[in-house]
Structure 1
Amino acid sequence: MLIQAFQKYKELLNDIKSSIHQTEGFRVWWLGQSGFLIQYLGKHLLFDPYLSDSLTKKYANTDKPHTRISELVIDPSELDMIDVVTSSHNHTDHLDAETLLPIFEKNPTITMVIPEANRKFVAERLKCDKDFLVCLNDNEHIEIYPFKLYGVPAAHNTLERDENGKLKYMGFVAEFGQYKVYHSGDTLRYDGMVDILKPYNVDIAFLPINGNKPERKVAGNLNFEEAARLGKEIEAKLVIPHHYHLFEFNTEDPENFIVKADDYGTPYRVLRLGERIEII
């Protein structure tokens, strides 16, 4: 039995569109894995969407099956309101052609933001012009009204750079109006992480909780305790966990995160698939 979405497909789409003209605050929907949709002043920023079964098909009948354990919440071709989309790194659950190409088709003026080091790879995977991609490194930012995106390092599992010193794995801080949110991408904790993130004073930190277990044979992330502690240390006003409940072999029980967040006094919200939270 798949984990059921809180809302999906037409109900989710209607929920997104119902508040598109709202001028107060901003809204967030969790779309599964590391995918989050931000709505602010009628504009939409989509972080790292994975809305297909491409990995399940790719790894079927192998020694590393990617067995889906939760429902898809929406067909990417239904997302016809996206202004900005990100890919924090080149792993398919963050850079999925079966998700992104339908979104590009429905949003011809979309801007895609990626790490500079990944430009060639992304252009080849998505069969797009390299100049279509807007690229960042750490200590850089780009403005795509009403969003300003800052590049921050991510360690998956290391702070890996290309031959020109450009990061291959990144997180993003998005600033819009009076608000700031941090999307971690995939990351472990690294030296100086708190010093980099704390000055942003983020309203929401989206942090992975699935951990780093070598037996999974994939690069890892913060575990539930590390995410709860990091959220407290950077003084995030709210932590929303991600990167769980997608694949059977690489997940975590969010209840474990809740226990540690309560222990640390970290403010948090655990979203159900397709659920909305509103920040005013």
Structure 2
Amino acid sequence: MRHAQAGNRYYSGPVSDHFDGTRFFNPGGEEPRAFLDLLRWRFNGARATWPSRVESPYPSAVPQPRIDDLRITMVGHATMLIQVAGLNILTDPVWSERASPVRFAGPKRVIEPGIAFGALPKIDLILLSHNHYDHLDVETLRQLHAAHDPLVVTPLGNDTILADSVPGMRVITGDWGDKVAVNERATVHIEPAHHWSARGTRDRRMALWASFVVETPAGRIYHIGDTGFHDGINYREAARLYGSFRLAVLPIGAYEPRWFMKGQHQGPEEAVEGMVLCNAAFAAGHHWSTFQLTDEAIDAPRQALLAALAARDIAASRFRPMLAGESWDVPPRA
């Protein structure tokens, strides 16, 4: 862990093309909008009404201990269990009732987790994309540390948060372009995403955000926790570096209104374009139907995704907007 110095509570390190010495940024991209824009959005009167509780059409999943090939199971929002080549991976794990720094306010879960916490198989690895509360939940991480002692791979600065909140958790941090050998069969590459970070009002962009590429004998997986589309730059670069992917795990929700969300959350149409640009054979859609973060209706991401696939004559079976409890044995690349 690199200890932060004055000006940045999480990280200190050399200036780079995405770090100015105090804050991280998106090269050539957009940064979060100002507070007045936030107020303009929150009081626009366009927020759809979500149900307070919904039932998934899928029963709570009970995963097998290990999978030799590739299976993905939706827990909810950005939390997914990826079982690949004998490795059990959780992405951005959140089992809490709210995505919030407090238990009495903030976005509330409308659907039960698709896997009961006690039904999890032994978790080997957590991919932690950034520090927003709907992705980094310290209470869930404490429980995972106690029950599974997993390794966490996360971008720069987030180790400081975990060291304070979950003492003893095994954490490896890296910058964009770094890689971590998880075992003799799996390597995780830390790659760019177009997003930002904050846990409060005074730490904006002080910890890095990232996507991940997981290389295994069962195929290559591209996982993005949160991203704006950014003209497809990062998708094209992923294809240049890695050639193709068996599976891309892509966010499809929390995108309205576009004038406010475009720089941080891609929409379903952009997710389809991203799948094409990065040469993914299949894609799993997440970041929807669990916590209401933005204005669109609860089912709008699925409807928009299916329409975008049809418009491009892409089979709906290639890109699944996954619901809590749903498991998918991902087919091999043709």
Q: How high is the TM-score relative to the length of structure 1?
A: 0.82
Counterpart-to-counterpart distance in 2, 1:100 and 1:231: 30
Could you list the per-position Cα deviations for residues 133-165 of structure 1 after superposition, in whole angstroms to 9, with x for gaps in the alignment?
11121111111123210111111159xxxxxx9
8 Å Cα contact 1:213/1:220 also seen in 2: no
Q: Secondary structure at the match of 2:55?
A: coil
Counterpart-to-counterpart distance in 1, 2:145 and 2:180: 20
Alignment of 1:23-38 (within 5 A): 23=68, 25-38=69-82
Q: Secondary structure at the match of 1:244?
A: coil
Could you list the per-position Cα deviations for residues 69-119 of structure 1 after superposition, in whole angstroms to 9, with x for gaps in the alignment?
2222234344241011121001122111221111111113x2111112322
Instruction: Give, as a single letter, the amino acid of the residue that structure 1 aligns with 2:178.
Output: E
Aligned equivalent of 1:184, options 206, 224, 233:
224
In structure 1, stretches of 5+ residues that fail to align are 159-164
Q: Secondary structure at the match of 1:55?
A: coil
Q: Which residue of 2 aligns with 1:155?
A: 194
Counterpart-to-counterpart distance in 2, 1:21 and 1:137: 30
Q: RMSD value over aligned CA atoms?
A: 2.8
- 1:31–1:21 distance in 2 versus 1, CA, 3 Å: closer
8 Å Cα contact 1:31/1:37 also seen in 2: yes
Q: Secondary structure at the match of 1:50?
A: coil
Q: Which residue of 2 aligns with 1:162?
A: none
Could you list the per-position Cα deviations for residues 157-178 of structure 1 after superposition, in whole angstroms to 9, with x for gaps in the alignment?
59xxxxxx99711010111104
- 1:187–1:43 distance in 2 versus 1, CA, 3 Å: same
Counterpart-to-counterpart distance in 1, 2:111 and 2:278: 31
Instruction: Give, as a single letter, the amino acid of the residue that structure 2 aligns with 1:152.
Output: E
Q: CA deviation at 1:204?
A: 1.1
Q: CA deviation at 1:208?
A: 1.1
Aligned equivalent of 2:163, options 118, 123, 134:
123
Instruction: Give, as a single letter, the amino acid of the residue that structure 1 aligns with 2:265.
Output: N
Alignment of 1:45-194 (within 5 A): 45-55=89-99, 58=102, 60=104, 65-108=106-149, 110-128=150-168, 132-145=170-183, 146-157=185-196, 168-190=208-230, 192-194=233-235
8 Å Cα contact 1:156/1:188 also seen in 2: yes
Q: Percent identity?
A: 22
Give the aligned length.
261
Q: How high is the TM-score relative to the length of structure 2?
A: 0.70
Of the two, which has the highest radius of gyration? 2
Which structure has more helix as a fraction of its residues? 1
